[in-house]
Structure 1
């Protein structure tokens, strides 16, 4: 008879223990991204998490992110920033393109200019709006000039989409070969990338195989010892991460920075007024909403911009802090009832699009209960384009208010927006004084909050499964886990 899932997992775990549980080889690290195989495709401007990691491994930018999420040298071996913060000057290391030609400043300048052109009209492109010029100063020196200081420029330049390529080929720390079900990555010797030679390099590194699987299949592969690392877990599939006491792996949570909430797409009917949209936001019991997930340390928020960022001047507080949850819901229910009673035949109903998964089912149930408490029926929508509300679950690129505000820019057409907020962000582009910039960002957040085009819930949830013996994995707030450190053998 077929084994039940718990018994099958137990047998697989015991077999894994007896076999050493390394996927059958100690010279290969098997990495699975939760997703679909086509997510490794690198066409288009918005890369999936799987494609981001593949791009970062094969095409470095001027700088890169290390395993802790910190900015480190890459194609640029060092840099200086002028005192006014308006010029970043990069010295390129002595390295070559994949075809063997020397990497020159003119090549880097042309590639960066092309990337900036292609990113126009995207949120990442808006993050780089302050770049006024990219110049090749000498053979190995590149300058980036800004219209006003951008303290997060290095963090933005480290994004995988800013990886430098020539003829579609990059100069990353790993060489990739496509396989039947994914990609095989081989660490490149440091001396081939303009870096000092590392003694016994081949003995210190392993190959990394990456592939993509749906969430349940990814967890099953980990259970069976066919994967050493599972990446890109979200709240939608978090309930699948409990793989039992016999598993030698552990669930690791990134304290991710970013957005997790509901974007309002429809401005008609019940959602046609900011006060009624606010009623939905007031109805949500945020701490209770995520209680079923038992996530330690997760902090709910009613703010759009994450609290406590370096450019947070402290003028924006959590909303409705002077009202108890019961008082908030009473006020919200009154607004909904007033709208229902103003015209015969009205129904208080909204639709919500969520990704598939058991976590999404739990989230929907909690939200439906909260909305029902104020007289609003919540229904599930399959197509986000036809839904009144959509879930925003996005990790930040950098820790600045500007990133959060740019996600709701009107020209991105992701849903309802605030032209007034956009105007304040635009003003900040030319502001030289950091306090003035921060004040403009605070005004923009206040405008967005008043328009209630986004209903914040808290920070995004990202989880991984990591087997013992995998080196180089570190939790970080950007949910970026470079593949080269994973290739290092345990010492």
Structure 2
């Protein structure tokens, strides 16, 4: 089988040579990706290492604790009006930013020109007002129960050039001469600018046990460092590199898989040729052997067939395709017949391989091999292309920032997706304006069904996110957002 060598990589390691982090030493944290930079997400894109750094040295009005639950950030408390339209935050009097600066930065994050990845999720915000020096009020056009979760994301961590320091639990003490590693210390009281990389600042007395040594690096190097005892934590793992973790240091006591929700599957981005017919797009979804895919990648990874997962906050009963309970052999027969019948009816359309945009790495090669084999047996040939190349299907791998079904459905609106439904767009607009949860759920259900009817997405599972964690870092918690607070790695207990 084409993917057999990769399957060998997925076998768990027989032992794990990593050990505990000494209690009196800093925790070295490797994040898979490039060197971390301190950037403002509203002004330019950021990488996973950037997000980890941002969450360490800055915070929003609220933040996420180790378990992914809301806790105070710059705001020491908040109130929500009975109708869900007014959120009032009281900012800590010792915070680096006052209410006016907070309001200004939040308005910039949601402005039409903003590059912030969460700007499109915050369109219900009608106004952000600094009521006093310590009180900020966010006024909504319609209720958004997930607002606090969105405000807690690193993308909405707050900076201000005029502030006397960072707003998070850490500040950058120094960067190594080659720029490879950052030393983060507490408290966060040194100047920080979102426009530049952190500069060296004078050292000050601190407890090394509370420090973080942060770096970004390739997965193989990060795992090797962890195995050799040079790192206590590896963050940012995905399906593309879990084979490296499992083959080279992922014993059961150290390999953690977050219970994420989000989108993981193939978005259909072309409606040309065989993909022009909804029944053919459906055939691709029906024929995929999800159980085999998730089983070969990770224990406990669960297959999914719909766009919106069950358990969403604002859509209790998302679409579950009728075919999902059918035996695989029956599904394959249906898909094979569908493709053959369409080709017989359209002899002028020459069969060409579908281009599948998928990330590089062992996991990408593995996923493509499995999907290609499933689709070949129903008469569809495929080729893998780079993620930035023209494609017919494109892998989507995104963790949801909240439990709202709207986030999933908004990925496929006509201003974002080449394949879309005007009916779904209208339903989403009505859901956005709805004042009561029953009406909102009904309109979201309309959008969900409309998108399912035209088969815009081939769901596989929830996003796969993994970490390696030294056994004695007992503050670490798996969580559904895959966002891990560096100041909580060591439990005070």
Select the residue among 386, 389, 405 that pairs with 2:409. Answer: 405
**TM-fit CA distance, 1:146:** 0.5
* 2:35 aligned partner: 37
**TM-fit CA distance, 1:293:** 2.1
**For 2:133 and 2:250, how far apart are their aligned partners in 1?**
57
Select the residue among 390, 394, 399 that pairs with 1:390. Answer: 394
Change (3 A) 1:83 1:344: closer
**For 1:37 and 1:303, how far apart are their aligned partners in 2?**
36
**TM-fit CA distance, 1:253:** 0.7
The answer as to 2:333 corresponding to 1:333 is no
**TM-fit CA distance, 1:331:** 2.2
Select the residue among 80, 105, 114 that pairs with 2:108. Answer: 114
Instruction: State the TM-score, normalized to the length of structure 2.
Output: 0.86
- Between Structure 1 and Structure 2, the one with more helix by share is 1
Change (3 A) 1:269 1:141: same
**For 1:393 and 1:254, how far apart are their aligned partners in 2?**
14
> Structure 1, residues 408-465: CA drift from partner, whole Å, max 9, x if none?
232235x423232222111112111101101111111111111211111111111111
Q: Would the aligned equivalents of 1:282 and 1:329 in 2 still touch at CA under 8 Å?
A: yes
Number of aligned positions between the proteins: 460
SS in 1 for 2:323: coil
* 2:152 aligned partner: 158
SS in 1 for 2:317: coil
**For 2:94 and 2:322, how far apart are their aligned partners in 1?**
52
**TM-fit CA distance, 1:230:** 0.5
Change (3 A) 1:274 1:384: farther
**TM-fit CA distance, 1:307:** 0.9
**For 1:138 and 1:490, how far apart are their aligned partners in 2?**
35
* 2:121 aligned partner: 127
**TM-fit CA distance, 1:382:** 2.2
| CA-based RMSD | 2.8
SS in 2 for 1:320: helix
Q: Would the aligned equivalents of 2:227 and 2:249 in 1 still touch at CA under 8 Å?
A: no
Deviation larger for 238-247 or 351-360: 238-247
Q: Would the aligned equivalents of 2:31 and 2:49 in 1 still touch at CA under 8 Å?
A: yes
Q: Would the aligned equivalents of 2:44 and 2:115 in 1 still touch at CA under 8 Å?
A: no
The answer as to 2:210 corresponding to 1:206 is yes
**For 1:315 and 1:331, how far apart are their aligned partners in 2?**
24
**TM-fit CA distance, 1:243:** 4.7
* 1:305 aligned partner: 308
* 1:170 aligned partner: 166
Unaligned runs of 5+ in 2: 1-8, 192-204
The answer as to 2:289 corresponding to 1:289 is no
Change (3 A) 1:204 1:383: closer
Select the residue among 435, 445, 467 that pairs with 1:464. Answer: 467
> Structure 1, residues 224-277: CA drift from partner, whole Å, max 9, x if none?
111111011111111111256897961011011111100112221111222211
Deviation larger for 417-426 or 74-83: 417-426
Deviation larger for 177-186 or 34-43: 34-43
**TM-fit CA distance, 1:34:** 1.0
**For 1:267 and 1:123, how far apart are their aligned partners in 2?**
27
Select the residue among 263, 266, 278 that pairs with 1:262. Answer: 266
Q: Would the aligned equivalents of 1:123 and 1:406 in 2 still touch at CA under 8 Å?
A: no
The answer as to 2:53 corresponding to 1:54 is yes
**For 2:342 and 2:251, how far apart are their aligned partners in 1?**
53
Instruction: State the TM-score, normalized to the length of structure 1.
Output: 0.87
Deviation larger for 403-412 or 64-73: 403-412
Deviation larger for 335-344 or 356-365: 335-344
